[in-house]
Amino acid sequence: MKYVSTRGRAPVLDFGDVLLAGLAEDGGLYVPERWPALDPSVWAEPRPYVEVATDVMLPFVEGSLSRGELAAMAAEAYATFEHPDVCPVSELGDLHLLELYWGPTLAFKDVALQMVGRLFDHELRRRGERATIVVATSGDTGSAAIEACVGRDTLDIVVLHPAGRVSDVQRRQMTTVDAPNVHNVAIEGTFDDCQDLVKAMFADTAFRDRVRLAAMNSINWARVMAQVVYYVTTVARLGRCGFTVPSGNFGNIFAAWVAARMGVPVGQLVIGSNRNDILTRWVATGSLVAEEVVPTLSPAMDIQISSNHERLLFELGGRDGAATAELLARFRRLGSVEAPRTDRFDAAAVDDDETLATIRAVYEETGRLVDPHTAVGVAAARRCRRGGDPMVCVATAHPAKFPDAVERATGVHPALPERLADLMEREERYTVLGNDLRAVQAHVERCIAG
């Protein structure tokens, strides 16, 4: 399998190169040269998660990994999940819930990153190289990336979080990991400052090459690939069904679109947004108009520029890289652009009041606690659902990851699972640095020197 850039001017690469490259040289995102068709036997009946994962991912790694290598990695990756089904489906009144929060850090990012950490390790070993992963996080990505890298001697990971601006649970999930290759930095600034520092480190080519910088953020194709799997296992369980996905960077719901493109009977696709609703406005009007990011109770979706959306725009524009590049350049310049449209998606924007009301209503009706991101999806599903297919709401985080909002809505404090029960007592380790590129770069070099 070969990969092309959505902006049409980067070298065509195989899977191993795409994995380590992250962003394409022309600023675009890598997508497979063609969409493979899945054999209907893959979703004809429920099968073990690891088997389905191997069948779904194999065509995308063809030429880089053997079936045996891929199956072994998937088996290891998903053994870290607490539920035997890995990504179980349960009932929630007249909806279903796809529970993606049984991994090490209690959010859906584990599903992809547990696989991606092993893919990186394998590829770097094959090349006899080491790499440094640098990640900016507003909460969930940092801990999931740390858990993907911890203890691997091919990787160092440095995570930048904005000091005082992530929740206690989220910070402690990162800073209590005690391993020589894990380095946490609190930046005196905002999440955007952290992200700008990471971008500046990648733009400094001498530095990038010296520390062999690599990215595990959500534009990495391997993350999308690993996320396709749970849409297939859900269809195997329920038959044709629709999905509602609480969306930020558009990676998760794009994976559902990919499953459909591979021939899997996926019904309605509903995008759930919080007040940062650029995607919902795009579905309604065809225009992409960026606005100020506003903080909400579902912080992992506080995003105005959804990076993975570019992959869909490339498809909708007939896979014309030059046209996609032009569209994105105009968007960056003007902050607003007429984009290709599709009626494949429905969408709803849900504000904080409705999010809290939904958490409360779900608790009263079913006795279950859902986190604020999942609640955005449930509210969007109720508003947009049509037709008779089952509707599956994608549950992207465990309620205990966002205890304040859940308690505010229901009066119930959601408990952390057993294995994290002592999180608040564990010792934290992190370095505090100013918003200063040179100081952060010097720190990264000290970290990897040991």
Element (H, E) at 238: helix 221-238
- Supply the minimum distance, in Å, between the C-beta of residue 87 and ligand PLP: 14
**Residue 250: CB minimum distance to ligand PLP, A:** 5
To ligand PLP, the closest distance from the beta carbon of 251 in angstroms equals: 3
Applying CB under 6 A, the span of 209-217, 250-258, 315-323, 421-429 interacting with ligand PLP comes to 250-258
Measured from the CB atom, the residue of 122 and 311 that comes closer to ligand PLP is 311
Residue 435: is it exposed, middle or buried by C-beta count within 10 angstroms (0-12/13-18/19+)? Answer: middle
Selected range binding ligand PLP among 163-171, 205-213, 249-257, 286-294, rule: CB under 6 A: 249-257
Q: Pick from 19, 56, 241, 397: which binds ligand PLP (CB under 6 A)? A: 397
**Binder to ligand PLP among 218, 220, 280, 355 (CB under 6 A)?**
218
Nearer to ligand PLP, 276 or 441 (CB): 276
Does 280 help bind ligand PLP (rule: CB under 6 A)?
A: no
Which residue type, as a one-letter code, is found at position 188? E
Please, are residues 430 and 184 in contact by the beta-carbon 8 Å criterion? yes
- CB of 168 vs ligand PLP, minimal distance in Å: 17
Q: Which residues of 149-182 are buried (b: 16+ CB within 10 A; e: fewer)?
A: bbebebbbbbbbbbbebbeebbbbbbbbbeeebb
Between 278 and 339, whose beta carbon lies closer to ligand PLP?
278
C-beta of residue 122 within 8 angstroms of C-beta of residue 69? yes
How close are the terminal C-alpha atoms of the chain, in Å? 38
Q: Where are the alpha helices (DSSP H) in 385-426?
A: 403-410
Taking 3-state DSSP, the helix, strand and coil percentages for the chain, each rounded to the nearest 5, stand at 45, 15, 35
Q: Considering the rule CB under 6 A, would residue 248 count as an interface residue with ligand PLP?
A: yes
- Can residue 396 be called a binding residue for ligand PLP (CB under 6 A)? yes
Residue whose pair of structure tokens reads 């990919």 in the numeric block: 258
What is d(CA 346, CA 12) in angstroms, rounded to the nearest whole number?
33
Choose which of 247, 273, 324, 355 interacts with ligand PLP (CB under 6 A): 247
Binding segment toward ligand PLP, per CB under 6 A, in 87-95, 240-248, 356-364, 403-411? 240-248
d(C-alpha 415, C-alpha 437), whole Å:
39
Residue 282: other Cβ atoms inside 10 A:
25
Window 150 to 169, contacts with ligand PLP (CB under 6 A): none
Closer CB to ligand PLP, residue 154 or residue 252?
A: 252
- By annotation, the residues acting in catalysis are 109
Burial-class residue 40 by CB neighbours within 10 Å (0-12, 13-18, 19+): exposed
State which residue, 134 or 278, has the beta carbon closest to ligand PLP: 278
State in angstroms the smallest separation of the CB of 355 from ligand PLP.
Answer: 12
Cα–Cα dist 229/121, whole Å: 21
Residue 326 sits at the vertex; the CA angle it makes with 320 and 329, to the nearest 5 degrees, is: 140
* Identified binder of ligand PLP from the candidate list 121, 140, 147, 354, rule CB under 6 A: 140
Give the nearest distance from C-beta 377 to ligand PLP in angstroms: 9
Q: Which of 162, 246, 399, 403 binds ligand PLP (CB under 6 A)?
A: 246
Which residues fall within 8 angstroms of residue 13, CB to CB, at 6 or more apart? Answer: 2, 3, 21, 30
Strand partners, 95: 92
- If the CB atoms of residues 123 and 352 are measured against ligand PLP, the closer one turns out to be 352
According to CB under 6 A, which one of 42, 301, 409, 416 is a site residue for ligand PLP? 301
Q: Hey, which residues does 244 pair with through a beta bridge?
A: 270, 393
Binding part of the chain for ligand PLP, among 30-38, 68-76, 199-207, 241-249 by CB under 6 A, reads 241-249
- For the bound state, the minimum distance from the C-beta of residue 193 to ligand PLP, rounded and expressed in Å, comes to 20
By CB under 6 A, residue 300 contacts ligand PLP: yes
Told to check if 142 binds ligand PLP by CB under 6 A, we report no
Task: Tell which residue, 246, 263, 236, has the closest CA to residue 109.
Answer: 246
* Region 345-374 residues binding ligand PLP, contact defined as CB under 6 A: 373
**Least Å distance between CB 306 and ligand PLP?**
7
Which secondary structure element, helix H or strand E, spans residue 162, and what is its range?
Answer: strand 155-162
Q: What are phi and psi of 150, to 5 degrees?
A: -55, 130
Name the amino acid, one letter, at 119: L
- Provide, rounded to whole angstroms, the least separation between the CB of residue 153 and ligand PLP: 28
Two tokens at 329?
């350049």
The residue (of 6 and 218) whose beta carbon lies closer to ligand PLP is 218
Pick out residues in 65-124 that bind ligand PLP (CB under 6 A).
107, 109
Q: How many residues form the binding site for ligand PLP (CB under 6 A)?
A: 16
Residue with tokens 């910070």: 171
Using CB under 6 A, list all residues that contact ligand PLP.
Answer: 107, 109, 140, 218, 246-252, 300-301, 373, 396-397
